[in-house]
Amino acid sequence: MTVRKAVILAAGFGTRFLPQTKGVPKEMLPIVDRPVIQYIVEECVAAGMREIVMVTALGKEVIEDYFDLDPELERLLEAKGDKERLGQIQNLRQMADIICVRQKGRAGNGHAVLAARAVVGNEPFAVFFPDDVIISDPPAIGQLADVYNRLGGTVLAVQEVPREEVVNYGVIEPETIEPRLHRVRSIIEKPTIEQAPSNLTTVGRFIVTPHLIDVLDRTPPGRSGEVWLMDAFDTLSREEPVYAYQYEGERFDCGQPLGLLKASLRIASRRPDLASGVLDYAASLTSGPS
């Protein structure tokens, strides 16, 4: 079955960006001139996933508003003859069918996925952590969908990290099938260096089968009393095939300030209207004061 639906988990507090995120959701922080969440939606659409469920929480209403109709703004741009910006604004509400659902209490990312169950139904779907912005062609989620279409089963995006960094991620126990592709034998969430079965860690892109919902229903609260996707994936790997794919692309952790800054510089450096100015300024920083 073709993967048509995507679930974007956008209910987090964004504490690493406080005090800014007291008033602005972290998903709405800008990378150049677009919010982080728009890059995620555009990745969904590029992979053919136009039915999108955003799991939000109290104070996140601006995300839903961002992708909605704004008649007054559109009339203003039309009256000014600003066709370029008018087209950009109209595209926001036309690019996908977006449904927002509330996570009733922030009780873990597994609990957040369960909030979308009525919308995803009994079919495979993609799951995104919006902190992870990935520049790739083809889109990273599309690479996972290709594996799903070929093999079936849940597919997790993974990357290699230095051994000392495994403590920050979900770490898989891999059985290599072919270059970049592994069967997942188990997953440990944020292990010690000694516990980690490899240095292949999960990234916020997953294609999941409907059986994940059943597993999440019986996954007990784990660390911090919350329900975690990694615990559910570990159980799932013992009940049906779960695969891990080392995606091709450049990832930025936009859930923390340095990652957001790096993403902004990288994306600006690829834009013809900004590249020369950004690169000249970056060079001036490294060369020191004149």
**DSSP single-letter state for residue 219:** P
Compute the mean pLDDT over every residue in the chain, rounded to the nearest whole number: 93
Model confidence at 59, pLDDT cuts 50, 70, 90, reads confident
The DSSP line for 68-109 is S--HHHHHHHHHHT-HHHHHHHHHHHHS-EEEEEE-SS---H
| H or E element in which residue 179 lies | none
CA of residue 4 relative to chain centroid, distance: 16
Reported as a single tens digit per residue, the pLDDT across 202-245 is: 999 999 999 999 999 999 888 778 899 999 999 999 999 999 99
For the cut 90, the answer to whether the pLDDT of residue 285 exceeds it is no
Give the C-alpha separation, 150 to 144, whole Å: 10
What digits encode the pLDDT tens for the residues 65-107?
999 999 999 999 999 999 999 999 999 989 999 999 999 877 8
pTM as predicted: 0.92
Options 3.90.550.10, 2.40.128.120, 3.40.50.720, 3.40.190.10; CATH of 5-255:
3.90.550.10
- Cis peptide leading into residue 138 (ω within 30°): yes
- Report the pLDDT value the prediction gives residue 181, as an integer from 0 to 100: 97
The per-residue pLDDT for 287 is 74
The per-residue pLDDT for 290 is: 53
Share of the chain above pLDDT 70, in %: 99
Domain ranges of the chain: 5-255, 259-290
Place of tokens 């892109």: 205
Which of the four pLDDT bands, split at 50, 70 and 90, describes residue 289?
low
Spatial separation of the C-alpha atoms in residues 96 and 52, rounded to whole Å:
7
pLDDT of residue 215: 96
CB atoms within 10 A of CB 153: 19
Q: Give me the pLDDT at residue 39, please.
A: 96
Has residue 288 got a pLDDT over 70? no
The pLDDT confidence band at residue 115, using thresholds 50, 70 and 90, is very high
Give the pLDDT confidence score for residue 286 in this predicted structure.
Answer: 80
Length of the chain: 290
In tens, the pLDDT along 160-207 reads 999 999 998 899 999 999 999 999 999 998 899 999 999 999 999 999
Q: Which residue has the higher pLDDT, 221 or 47?
A: 47
- Asked if 182 and 200 touch (Cβ cutoff 8 Å), the reply is yes
